[in-house]
Structure 1
């Protein structure tokens, strides 16, 4: 509990008036000395309860699992838990440093009657990752503002903001490795889904012989099922400085959204038993370089991919380098081609803000790799400059689409799963 010396002047004024009244013998001066003395007496008698036990705080975060760039509304409900009025309650929520408040305020000052509640609402811009809120800071003052108490009060309800929404399916081409997986192909063999029948061949397993057909016609036929194989896929993230822009202050940049989408794609592909690799094109003094995670599967892949993503996000624009110390050189696409096998397909994640991504896509497609483009839209709108950037981006994406490459034009306001569904139909 702390005190504030607010009425020192009132005490001095009261003493001065009383002295003048005694010296002059005038009663009005003596009566006037009582007025400032009354303020001093009220301040001395006013008490303030402890903040930690007097106020209850509950926090609500909606939506609970937002996408990057989505607006998140945080609501604090402050309740007077005492049987007396609290004339001055001030509260500041513990907003994580990594997220930006763009509407409303996490600060408020209210007066609460016994048992009364008040709400404080503000809006954040979601960013990829998980963020913990600190306990709100609460300060109580008495009516005369001569005493106050400050404490961190643990909030009930939501305490974390998690921006880690996954995707259900990833659009893959029928460019597979030959290993068993979960990607349906247009060839017959062992599997689950019926594909067709053919003449029996020596060595066909008895379990696939159509015994009913044998009983009817006396001819041996073999049942084929649709083969399911694993794809070898590399998710390529465009993390150059040219992509590190946002549609407005406080919103995720193209690199933020690209890493978010890539992480979701890697997780979904790994869950489907595909061989998954990760590459990130970054700027370096000698030109673009490639940070690389070899295609594989299992927990080790996820750990290495997450480490690469974390290093990309942690590197400030203009200071990005190679995550594993390899791949130095001026031609990142040529370096990437040397790493890729002939059966590897790529998912290129880039905002397409300059000419580099479409040139890279055309080069990789010319070398026999099937590609899909996922492009987060960070061009924005409003000003003439932003409209020009948006038009140039749409033109680049249209050129890639005309070349036969499926394109996912993803606006952050739209769930990534829905955006991928359209490309999934195009691939099929």
Structure 2
């Protein structure tokens, strides 16, 4: 289905042309009569002109089709004129999903195409956290003088890109950081589990699978093996969404707030798979709070909050966040994952306050610093010093490089790197 529109490019030309003809006749100025006649002719063309047929085919290539979380995706869009006539003016805009952003190149073009000719545009996107579907591309073709246009939408294949989600809750090691299955928090108590805890006297209701048969073979005594118990955790993801965190290493790069929000969405989707409750909070002048939960409806509510609430959108508001209220909302002994660039002393201070209140804290810090000026290099050194001080205080801190996919950072975290 296509739509034909008059552009109005020569609106009012007919009236002006008639005035020129009249003045030329009265004043006996042949040039004005000729000019007015030309205007009348063009005005008549404006009324009867039809746009070229939009015989267009589009092919899209996506590389990679299943990127890691945080990885850039290259999109190449090739448009071909399948008709028998030249398209003098072709405008095209790809249907980029709303949930991603173009970080390099352009998703639109303007060109002329001869019959059988084709042209390609290439751009890069990032910011997706799940399956993203492209809308049909919008194509506008105009006649040679641009007075009439035909608008249509053309589907291009493939139209889907899926960002891989880190397996279950292996996104970040929850503190206290000890060797364990991703997402579980061991407690100092025996029972069911996978890690050896102790051996005790056998009881009549103990399962046979937990009898220490080696001990029985040696001594004839029945003993029961206990394993270290594991329990689910309550996790609150705190996103630094202040204007001070709206930083990026380049003008076309994602800001630390955007990267933190992306990581928060991944945590919300991953941690409940192991039964962990996850809540959301904004370290922001606006403030936002969602109590921990595990249900699918809760996960959707958390995603909507992160993507649409103004507390997570960078603004010029510089009002100091209510840190006391933020901390008071946290459940007792909740694990806290703090997401922020740590580019000022206030963010370091709030992390210390969280730890001082007894909350196990993990920091994932997207690095927004650059090295192109002396001031930027100084800011980078100051940020590194804040990370060092927090680690020295016993807080788990993971530095997230500007070009690193989130999956790579989490893999390093599970190997014990920071």
The CA deviation string for residues 122-176 of structure 1, in whole angstroms up to 9 with x for no partner, is 324423565744523142657xx699762314132144666x5422312112499
- What SS is found at the alignment partner of 1:60? strand
Tell me, yes or no, if structure 1 residue 380 matches structure 2 residue 379: no
Which runs of no fewer than 5 residues in structure 1 stay unpaired? 6-42, 285-289, 322-329
Equivalent pair of 2:88/2:112 in contact (CA under 8 Å) = yes
CA 1:189 to 1:399, structure 2 compared with 1: closer, same or farther past 3 Å?
Answer: same
Residues 245-256 of structure 1 correspond to what in structure 2 (within 5 A)? 245-256=247-258
The 10-residue stretch of structure 1 (260-269 or 190-199) with the greater mean CA deviation from structure 2: 190-199
Match of 1:77 in 2: 78
CA 1:182 to 1:236, structure 2 compared with 1: closer, same or farther past 3 Å?
Answer: closer
Tell me, yes or no, if structure 1 residue 306 matches structure 2 residue 308: no
The alpha-carbon deviation at position 219 of structure 1 amounts to 0.6
Equivalent pair of 1:190/1:224 in contact (CA under 8 Å) = yes
Residues 116-127 of structure 1 correspond to what in structure 2 (within 5 A)? 116-127=116-127
Q: Return the match for 1:317 from 315, 318, 325.
A: 315
Equivalent pair of 1:239/1:312 in contact (CA under 8 Å) = no
Match of 2:58 in 1: 57
Equivalent pair of 2:58/2:78 in contact (CA under 8 Å) = yes
Q: If you compute each CA radius of gyration, which structure gives the higher value, 1 or 2?
A: 1
Match of 1:29 in 2: none
The alpha-carbon deviation at position 105 of structure 1 amounts to 6.4
Partners of 1:69 and 1:193 lie apart in 2 by 33
Tell me how large the CA RMSD over aligned residues is: 3.9
TM-score when normalising by structure 1: 0.72
Partners of 1:122 and 1:192 lie apart in 2 by 51
Q: Return the match for 1:108 from 82, 107, 110.
A: 110
TM-score when normalising by structure 2: 0.74
Q: Return the match for 2:396 from 384, 406, 416.
A: 406
Partners of 2:354 and 2:221 lie apart in 1 by 49
Partners of 2:380 and 2:58 lie apart in 1 by 44
- What SS is found at the alignment partner of 2:415? helix
CA 1:139 to 1:304, structure 2 compared with 1: closer, same or farther past 3 Å?
Answer: closer
Partners of 2:330 and 2:140 lie apart in 1 by 57
The CA deviation string for residues 204-247 of structure 1, in whole angstroms up to 9 with x for no partner, is 62332234533542112102234221112211111112112333
Partners of 1:399 and 1:390 lie apart in 2 by 14
Which runs of no fewer than 5 residues in structure 2 stay unpaired? 11-44
- What SS is found at the alignment partner of 1:271? helix
The alpha-carbon deviation at position 87 of structure 1 amounts to 5.9
CA 1:341 to 1:111, structure 2 compared with 1: closer, same or farther past 3 Å?
Answer: closer
Match of 2:174 in 1: 172
Residues 8-407 of structure 1 correspond to what in structure 2 (within 5 A)? 51-52=53-54, 54-64=55-65, 71-82=72-83, 84=84, 86=86, 88=88, 90-94=90-94, 96=96, 99-100=101-102, 102-103=104-105, 106-113=108-115, 116-128=116-128, 130=132, 132-139=134-141, 141=143, 150-159=150-159, 165-168=164-167, 169=170, 170-174=172-176, 183=184, 185=186, 187=188, 189-193=190-194, 195=196, 198-200=199-201, 202=203, 205-207=206-208, 208-211=210-213, 213-284=215-286, 290-309=287-306, 310-312=308-310, 315=313, 317-318=315-316, 332-407=322-397
The alpha-carbon deviation at position 51 of structure 1 amounts to 2.6
Equivalent pair of 1:197/1:221 in contact (CA under 8 Å) = no
